[in-house]
Amino acid sequence: MSEHTDAAVTYGSYLKIEELLLLQQPRSTGPEHDEMLFIIIHQVYELWFKELLHELDRVKALLEQDQSHRAQHTLKRVLTVLKVMVAQLDILETMTPLEFLSFRERLEAASGFQSDQFRQIEFLLGVKSEQAIQRFPNGGRARAALERRYQESTLWDGFLQYLSREGYDLPQAQLMRDPRVAVVASPDVQQILVRVYQNDPKNAELCERLVDLDEGVQEWRYRHVKMVERTIGARRGTGGSTGATYLRETVGRPIFPDLWDIRSQL
């Protein structure tokens, strides 16, 4: 029998706790007390973004395999994570404007604008933008990940193809859509979705979960912009945008416009 020389797995070795605890490095002198919270909350969000990508890729793959029940199960998990992500903004709102200003200048041009995982989630859902890729330096991990996601079909495409295999006569133009183009409203798709809602409870339920997902992302955007307004008011963002003015434009912009447009036709 060969002898085991490897150290036994422990909580710390499995979860890489030593490495994890070295990753919070404030830049302010002192350092300012609240910078720790600011760093940790962003790191936690990036981990949730990673988990969302992991699960949303799964949802898309399950739809491709016509496993809609399991896709819905996974979507339920995504929605639960999203709720936690929205609730977490409460923690950051305990930081007053002055507490934030005490270290804000040390962020220089760093901003959530540069979160490639957030853009990856948008791309995967169908919110594509070639311009968003340009913000990430050539040759890096983030740029490569975004370029790949830009070319790939979206969750919405996966859903339409699934519906087509379920017997719905979706137009070829929709099924062969260029995945690099952002998803926009389509009256043809809406006609079919109305039929799904009226006659097909199983797939209507799936549509409702996608609406939940869309609403969950909008809720995050809304809470984020409110937090921005109460923390920096009308100041410009560190990423160079007009700040709350820019962010307000993104709130209420649906990810799956057809699923919202049909509401008045049901």
Q: What are the residues binding ligand HEM (CB under 6 A)?
A: 41-42, 45, 92, 100, 111-113, 115, 118, 224, 227-228, 231-232, 237-241, 243, 246-247, 250
How far, CA to CA in Å, does 205 sit from each of 48, 177, 201, 212?
25, 25, 6, 11
* CB closer to ligand HEM, 154 vs 174: 154
Distance in Å, CB of 175 to ligand HEM, minimum: 29
Rg over CA atoms, the chain = 21
Nearer to ligand HEM by Cβ, of 218 and 250: the residue is: 250
Identity of the residue, 136 or 197, whose beta carbon is nearer to ligand HEM in the bound complex: 136
Residue 255 CB, nearest distance to ligand HEM (Å)? 12
Measured from the CB atom, the residue of 158 and 243 that comes closer to ligand HEM is 243
Those residues whose C-beta lies under 8 Å from the C-beta of residue 29, and which sit 6 or more positions away, are: none
Token pair in block for residue 200: 């097909």
d(Cα 61, Cα 22) in Å, to the nearest integer? 36
Give me the least distance between CB of 253 and ligand HEM, in Å please.
9
Residue 77, Cα to own-chain centre: how many angstroms? 14
Amino acid at 197: Y
Q: How far is the CB of 232 from ligand HEM (least distance, A)?
A: 5
* Alpha-carbon distances of 33 from 101, 106, 227, rounded to whole Å: 12, 14, 19
74 or 102: CB nearest ligand HEM = 102
Minimum CB separation from ligand HEM for residue 226, in Å?
11
The torsion angle over the Cα atoms of residues 165, 169, 173 and 177, rounded to 10 degrees, is: -30
- CB 165, min distance to ligand HEM, A: 33
Could you give the CA distance from residue 66 to residue 165 in angstroms, rounded to a whole number?
8
* Residue with smaller CB distance to ligand HEM, 74 or 238: 238
